[in-house]
Amino acid sequence: MLTPEQQQAVAQHLNTRAQRPKCPVCGTTSMRVQRDVLSLPTTGANESEIRRVIITCTYCGYDMHFDPDVMGLSLPDAGSQA
Ligand SMILES: [Zn+2]
């Protein structure tokens, strides 16, 4: 889960990168940063999961996934979110 501050940081990150994020499906710019973080299992031995911040188009519902490391977010380990 992202804190409201982290959600704000994600929105700010996206707004400072070239253009406002635009939905590739419907073209609107009304996007919402989801509180929940996606966790994908991987086949690697050391890294057991990939985590992605989810940005959802509030018009058509399309999801975009962003790397929290690239955005400078430090998320707690998956095991600690009981
Ligand atoms: Zn859309």
Return the CATH class of domain 4-70.
mainly beta
Residue 81: pLDDT over 60? no
pLDDT per position as a tens digit, 1-34 = 889 999 998 888 888 876 778 899 999 999 999 9
CA of 4 to the centre of ligand 1 (A): 23
User: Residue 78 has what pLDDT?
Assistant: 55
Distance 81 CA to ligand 1 centre (A): 30
Given a cut of 80, whether residue 76 has pLDDT beyond it is: no
Of residues 51 and 44, the one with the higher pLDDT is 51
Residue 35 has pLDDT above 80, yes or no: yes
Region for 40 from its dihedrals, namely left if φ exceeds 0, alpha if ψ lies in -120 to 50, beta otherwise: beta
Q: How far is the CA of 74 from the centre of ligand 1 (A)?
A: 28
Using the mean position of ligand 1's atoms as its centre, give its distance from the Cα of residue 44 in Å: 33
One-letter identity of residue 33 = V
Spatial distance between the Cα atoms of 10 and 73, rounded to a whole number of angstroms: 8
For residue 39, pLDDT beyond 70 = yes
In the prediction, which pLDDT does 47 show?
64
